[in-house]
């Protein structure tokens, strides 16, 4: 799993940091950022929920699509059902 935050889209709502505080935080200006070493989500089960909670869709979670060396496939989490 890979997580990316589009800094040009983020409005600093902070929903990601509230939902998955072990993965996301906010910088000094209030915009979302990943905690160091958490680019892969650290196995946190709330990563997808945090991405879904972003009101502007600034967070992208990519899953490995297949065998080693294959491309990552982005998942539009806004279309997935909430659990």
* pLDDT, tens digit, 9 for 90 and up, residues 18-76: 999 999 999 999 999 999 999 999 889 999 999 999 999 999 999 864 444 444 545 55
More confident residue, 21 or 83: 21
pLDDT at 76: 53
pLDDT beyond 90 at 79: no
pTM (2 d.p.): 0.74
Query: What domains lie within the chain, and their CATH numbers?
Result: 2-75 (3.30.70.20)
DSSP result, 17-40: HHH-TTTEEE-TTS-EEEPTT-TT
Q: How far is CA 74 from the centre of its chain?
A: 11
The reported pLDDT for the residue numbered 63 is 82
């Amino acid at each position: 799993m890979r997580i990316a935050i589009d800094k040009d889209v983020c409005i600093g709502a902070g929903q990601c940091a509230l939902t998955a505080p072990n993965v996301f935080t906010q910088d000094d200006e209030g915009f979302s950022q990943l905690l160091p070493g958490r680019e892969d989500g650290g196995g946190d089960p709330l990563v997808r929920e945090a991405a879904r909670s972003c009101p502007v869709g600034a967070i992208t979670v990519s899953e490995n699509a297949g065998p080693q060396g294959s491309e990552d496939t982005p998942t539009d989490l806004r279309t997935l059902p909430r659990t």
